[in-house]
A and B are shown apart, each in its own frame.
Chain A
Amino acid sequence: MNASSATVSRTLVGRVLWYLPVGLIVLFFAFPLIWMVMTALKQPVDVFSSPPKFVFAPTLDNYKRVLSSDYMGTVGNSIVVAVVSAAFSIVLGTLTAYGFSRYTLRGQDNLLFWILSLRMLPVIAVIFPYFLLFQRIGLTDTLLALMLVYSIFNISFTVWLLKGFFDEVPREMEEAAKMDGYGPWGVFQRVALPLVVPGIATAAVFNIVQSVNEFLLAFVLTQREATTAPVALLNFLTPLGLDWGGISAASTMLVLPVAVFAVLVRKHLIRGMSFGQLE
């Protein structure tokens, strides 16, 4: 009796000691998000009140304003660009990563480093060459231009991430599949690919977030038709000052689809982020 109540209290203490810091950390990282969602529901007077209000009369005015503007079109642009470039990068990146993982190529290390170096370039260094290039071929202010540029960055990341995952697939498993009568494509498709699904999910989320976030390239390469949401947020910078409520509501609309996608693939994500580890 005594002993069991002691273990109960010990596990209770243990749980508190575990959940308290975890809760604090989550709160710390989620706070900007919470603040954004709250601001989106505030009236202008509440936005600037000091001390900040956590209890207030919510309003949907901000959302109404955003939805009736042409902002939602730019969210659509953002999502189309992000999804297409992520899909393209994943198809190409997966095949490339598999090749690097399974076959020895001449100059393999140099090639891999070159691919990685695409990612290390500061955007500002390539922005004007891209601008001039797209102007010459008539692609400025098109979604296609953004898709192409984002894919370059995304492929680099995808190749590196997925090569790590493919490296973890035991060679013997593929040998077994070959002895079971499968050719190279069958082995890839039926054995290797299903085992790196967590990596693909991780790459997809990272790629999409990356594209949705991107500002500088989109700002320079688009004018009206292909404007993406981050660029369109500038419109909330009015001569009368910053429309914080509007920005928050607009940002929420942009975050929402990405968050929904992340939730859908979360099962794979957790395994993906803990890097490979086939059970």
Chain B
Amino acid sequence: MTQVRLENVRVAYDGREVVRDASFTVESGELAVLVGRSGSGKTSLLRAITGYAPMTGGRVVVGGTDVTGQPPAKRDIAMVFQSYALYPHMTVDENWRFPLEAAKVPKAEQDARVTRVAETLQMRRLLNRYPRELSGGQQQRVAIGRALVRQPQIFLLDEPLGALDAKLRVEARSAFKSLQRDLGTTTLYVTHDQAEAQALGSKIVVLDGGVVQQVGSPDEIYDDPANTFVAGLFGSPPMNFLPATLERDGEAVVARSGPLAVALPAVVGQKVLAAGVADQVTLGVRPETISRGAEPGPGRAVGRVYVTEPIGHNVLVDVRLGQELVRMRGHRDDDLLARLAPDDEILVAVDPARVLVFDRGSGARLG
């Protein structure tokens, strides 16, 4: 069992806390993704697991044993550093053998492992090169390879695809995903790219300001975000946020934002009421849940097209709705959205079942 469990981990540099009370679990064999903006504390959290961060509280449990006080060398964790940290005076082959020599792996076994990894990463012909003779993407594969040959219990990767261009990134990440599945090594993968997180992880941990915002599957994170930060981080284009006021209409709760009035589903309405906060809220509406309505009705309002933007077979339409600018996304072959021109009038229809309600002050999810 090689589960990794973090319990209330705190990391501080010179008294400044950069990771606050982080708790989550990476199950045995799982590929979990840690996602957050630059400076949110991702690397610091990884370093808490490896044993290099100055931890001021909490526990790190690997495979059932508390390793919190243990020196890094004892933890059987392999890490791919953000900077790769390749040994510049060693060839690719020597870089890979380095950890094996420390572990006194017999020569024949070393050869076999290096060959296998070289095959997997398609680096056979580069084995005798020095890191400085390799491209950024190749160096990144060397770094991954050095972790792979060790066959460690735990695999940590710190933005390993950062140096690649967009197209290569997509290829590399799916290659990595199948590699991880074949190996079945417990993996924590760090990225600041929400699309990468969605594509890779069976579990996503969202970090902001050193605080874990939410832990969940990609679908949970996307459909059921815990707060406006998580809601805004995932999805492209990002979620629309509309300031709204709540009005009670008998049993029903109606959220009104400018010309738009959305009757919240009963469950949502009750949760919002139960939360008992002010009636000033923020509505979260994903661009793909907005469509063009045929005739007026509840949850619909007239707006004006501001600008349209075809993207592949999608089209993005920015609509001026009262004071707000709302972005909707649909298929280009959808007749209702095709051939819209700026300043056209358009009837915007919001799907009430997919509207999210957030506290306007704290950003916390209400319903």
Contacts and interface: CB of A to CB of B under 8 A. Distances in A.
Task: Report whether chain A binds chain B.
Answer: yes
Interface of A: 170, 172-173, 175-183, 186, 190-191, 194-195, 278-279
A178 B72 CA distance: 7
Given A170-B85, A173-B87, A279-B88, A179 B78 contact: yes
B181 interface: no
A279 B133 CA distance: 10
Contact of A181 (B50, B52, B103, B132): B103
B72 A179 contact: yes
Contacts of A190: 98
- Determine the interface band of chain B, counting residues with CB < 8 A from chain A: 20 to 34
A190 B99 CA distance: 11
Given A173-B87, A195-B88, A182 B102 contact: yes
A192 to B, nearest CB: 11
Nearest to B156: A179
B73 A183 contact: yes
Given A175-B52, A177-B87, 16 more contacts: A172-B81, A172-B83, A173-B86, A173-B87, A175-B72, A175-B85, A176-B79, A178-B71, A178-B73, A179-B78, A179-B79, A180-B99, A180-B150, A181-B99, A182-B73, A278-B88
A8 to B, nearest CB: 32
B68 to A, nearest CB: 17
Q: Which of A173, A177, A181 has the most CB of B within 10 A?
A: A181
B187 to A, nearest CB: 15
B77 interface: yes
Nearest to B77: A179
A191 B87 contact: yes
A278 to B, nearest CB: 6
A91 to B, nearest CB: 20
Contacts of A180: 98-99, 102, 146, 150
B89 A177 contact: no
Contacts of A183: 73
A173 B89 contact: no
A176 B85 contact: yes
A182 B87 CA distance: 14
A199 to B, nearest CB: 13
Contacts, number: 51
Contacts of A176: 79, 81, 85, 87, 146
A170 B82 CA distance: 13
Nearest to A173: B85
28 contacts: A172-B81, A172-B83, A173-B85, A173-B87, A175-B52, A175-B72, A175-B81, A175-B85, A176-B79, A176-B81, A176-B87, A176-B146, A177-B98, A178-B72, A179-B72, A179-B73, A179-B77, A179-B78, A179-B79, A180-B99, A180-B102, A181-B73, A182-B102, A186-B102, A190-B98, A194-B89, A195-B88, A278-B88
Contacts of B52: 175
Contacts of A173: 85-87
A262 B266 CA distance: 86
Contacts of B79: 176, 179
Interface in B215-229: none
Contacts of B81: 172, 175-176
Contacts of A177: 87, 98
Interface string B120-147: 0000000000001000000000000010
Contacts of A279: 88, 132
B47 to A, nearest CB: 8
Contacts of A175: 50, 52, 72, 81, 85
A162 B15 CA distance: 32
Contacts of A195: 88-89
Contacts of A186: 102
A95 B73 CA distance: 22
Nearest to B103: A181
Contacts of A179: 50, 72-73, 75, 77-79
B325 to A, nearest CB: 44
A181 B87 contact: no
Nearest to B47: A175
B281 to A, nearest CB: 45
Interface in B102-124: 102-103
Interface in B84-103: 85-89, 98-99, 102-103
Contacts of B150: 180
Interface in B131-179: 132, 146, 150
Contacts of B75: 179
Contacts of B99: 180-181
A186 to B, nearest CB: 7
A183 B98 CA distance: 13
Contacts of B89: 194-195
A80 B83 CA distance: 45
A236 to B, nearest CB: 47
A202 to B, nearest CB: 17
Nearest to A190: B98
